[in-house]
Structure 1
Amino acid sequence: MQFMIEIPAALPATTVKELLEEHFLIPRKIRHFLRIKKHVLINGQSINWQSPVRAGDRICLTFDEEDYPPKSILMGRAELVEELYQDQHLIIVNKSEGMKTHANEPAELALLNHVSAYVGQTCYVVHRLDKETSGAVLFAKNPFVLPILNRMLENKAIRREYWALTDGQPSQKTMTFRDRIGRDRHDRRKRLVDPQKGQTAETQVTRLKNFSQTSLVNCQLKTGRTHQIRVHLSHHGLPIVGDPLYHPQPQGRLMLHAHRLTLTHPFTLEKLLVEAPSVSFEEGLR
């Protein structure tokens, strides 16, 4: 693999060593290979590890198979992919409800397999959506950018916003739920609020529109626990319409849709705001 990256003006002054280690998060072993093989060029020239990197410089990185051994998965159906954004390093797609983000068995096909077929190479999951949830999902197109995107997700630098149709109406315009979430020991499929043993979780909820007995709310994740939005809303008396696990009388599809993904591109520092349309979700609001 070879990548050419132009250093953006907004990147703070740094050295080659700091750039590879702190910004690109390249593991020590691979940085060693890059250095001894002279696989790092700045503006076409070999460099010293302490050389300064300036805005406008073009850095060329060459990775061999021993750096990132090739990984292959079963290719899916490219025609099932709805692209929302794509560049050399990442792709954002619109997942339909009823489709898994990634497979649990080697012979199973899921969105990751379809995206890999669409791109023409193995891609990598950055975050996932529940099978019943639709909307924007981010994938890394190479193992070089994957740890960078993972760190951004951990540092809350990737903002994920969801629309949910709740059965019942919130008492306030905005609310923040911080109930800890753990496993339901009576049902392995489910999660529940567990103040003692649960993991920290935070969901910001904003009421967008009231209907006769339901409400459309916007949910922003501050953490990424399994079923977080579904558990928080259900726990506070606002189960999501159609939720097969947390609504006492589910009807129709789960009315939860990841409608917006916002992040700063790790290499260009360009702000990306990607929205995912959903015909079936919008029809459910009528």
Structure 2
Amino acid sequence: MQYNIQLPDNFETCDIKTLLEERWLVPRKVRHFLRTKKNILVNGESRSFHELVDAGDEITLHFDASDYPDYEVTLGDASKVEVIYEDEYLIIVNKPIKMKTHPNQPDEKDALLNHVASYLAPQGLLPYVVHRLDMETSGLILFAKNPFILPILGRMLEQKNIKRSYQAVIDGQLNKDSLSVNKKIGRDRHDRRKRRIDERTGKIAVTHFTTVKRENRYSLVNCELDTGRTHQIRVHLQSLGHPIVGDPLYNPRSQAGRLMLHAYKLNFIHPLTNEHISCESKPFDFIM
């Protein structure tokens, strides 16, 4: 497995160690392999980790079969994949409702991961999950197209360098046009499917809400995540007394035909090309 990456024109000169560790966020284990096996080349030549690289240089990274574990996924249906953005390193697709992000059992083949694997099969590639959406939630999901960039994108997500925006229809109206919720979330002891506010033992969760439209008994709100806890937006809105319309777990009396939550925007700086990637998925038609 080999990757050839040309440093962009706006690249700021640094040494190879800084490039791998700070710019590309390559994990320590992978950096160690590259250094000890001399599997990194600059313009076709082996270089010390302390030597400088400049804009326009071509970086070649070679990985042995032992550098990454084997990975298999059952192929699904490529026709079910709606591609929003794709390059040689990553792919962003639009997930429909009622579809899992990834299978829970080895023989499942109707999750989004299965379908993206089928789409990428002609390229000789497999998708790697960077983040997920609940089965009931629609919208944009980012997949890595190789195991090298997967931890880089994962680290970017942890460091909040990938901005995810959602839209939701909620019962009632928030008491402010913009507000932030910082409430810890933990498991619900009485229902294993659910999460709840748990300030004592829960994990930190921060969501920012902005009202876009108010109409009758409902509101359309934008939601932005600082953290990525399971059911975070759903639990935080329920805690405010304004659950999402159509939420079968946190607003079971609501009848909307689906959970009215959609991941409509992804923004980040591409870790290898420095390009600004901004993708939008047209929100579903909100019935207010």
TM-score category, normalised to shorter length: over 0.9
Deviation of 1:51 after TM superposition, in Å, equals 1.4
One-letter identity of the residue aligned with 2:101: T
Per the alignment, residue 149 of structure 1 pairs with 153
The corresponding residue for 2:81 is: 81
Q: Say whether 1:39 aligns with 2:39.
A: yes
The alignment status of 1:244 with 2:245, answered yes or no, reads: no
1:135 paired residue number: 139
- Which region of structure 1 is more displaced relative to structure 2, 22-31 or 168-177? 22-31
Show CA shifts across 1:22-63 (max 9, x none): 333444554444345443221222223321011111111111
Match of 1:203 among 189, 204, 207: 207
**Partner SS, residue 220 of structure 2:** strand
CA displacement at 1:13 relative to structure 2: 2.8
Q: CA deviation at 1:179?
A: 1.4
Q: Is 1:13 aligned with 2:17?
A: no
CA contact (8 A) 2:246 2:252 kept: no
SS of the residue 1:169 aligns to: coil
Structure 1 position 2 matched with structure 2 position 7: no
Match of 2:203, SS?
A: coil
Question: What are the ranges of 5 or more consecutive residues in structure 2 without an aligned counterpart?
Answer: none
Q: Is the partner of 1:234 in helix, strand or coil? A: helix
Aligned CA RMSD, in angstroms, stands at: 1.6
- The runs of 5 or more residues in structure 1 that have no matched partner are none
Cα gap change, 1:75 to 1:45, in 2 (>3 Å): same
Aligned sequence identity (%): 54
CA apart distance, 1:250: 2.6
- How many residues matched? 283
TM-score, normalised to structure 2, is: 0.93
Superposed counterparts of 1:136-285, under 5 Å: 136-251=140-255, 252-278=257-283, 281-282=284-285, 284-285=286-287
The residue type equivalent to 1:115 in the other structure is V
In the aligned structure 1, how far is the partner of 2:178 from the partner of 2:20? 41
Once the two structures are TM-superposed, the CA of residue 236 in structure 1 deviates from its matched residue by 0.6
Aligned to 1:113: 114
Partners of 2:267 and 2:227 lie apart in 1 by: 15
| Cα distance in structure 2, aligned partners of 1:203 and 1:46 | 46
Q: Which residue of 2 aligns with 1:94?
A: 94
Tell me how far apart the structure 2 counterparts of residues 57 and 253 of structure 1 sit (CA, whole Å). 50
1:46–1:95: structure 2 CA closer, same or farther, 3 Å change rule?
Answer: same
Provide the rounded CA distance (Å) in 1 between the counterparts of 2:263 and 2:112: 15
Superposition deviation, residue 10 in structure 1: 4.0
Q: How many Å separate the matches in 2 of 1:180 and 1:35?
A: 41
**Equivalent position SS for 2:139:** strand
User: For residue 106 of structure 1, what is the amino acid of its counterpart?
Assistant: P
CA distance in 2, matches of 1:224, 1:10: 32
**Secondary structure, in 3 states, of the residue corresponding to 1:66?**
helix
Distance 1:206 1:199 in 2: 23
TM-score by length of 1: 0.94
Are the aligned partners of 2:102 and 2:113 in contact in 1 as well (CA < 8 Å)? yes
Alignment partners' CA distance in 2, 1:191 and 1:7 = 44
**Paired residue type of 2:270:** H
Give the 3-state SS of the residue equivalent to 1:176 in structure 2.
strand
Q: Name the CA distance, whole Å, in 2 between partners of 1:182 and 1:37.
A: 44
CA, structure 1 residues 31+78, in 2 after alignment: closer, same or farther (shift >3 Å)? same
Which deviates the most, 265-274 or 54-63? 54-63
User: CA separation in 1, counterparts of 2:25 and 2:221?
Assistant: 37
Residues 65 and 162 of structure 1: CA distance in aligned 2, closer, same or farther (over 3 Å): same
Distance 1:124 1:213, change over 3 A: same
Task: Give the CA deviation at 1:163.
Answer: 0.4
Structure 1 counterpart of 2:19, which letter? L
Indicate if the aligned counterparts of 2:27 and 2:151 stay in contact, CA closer than 8 A: no
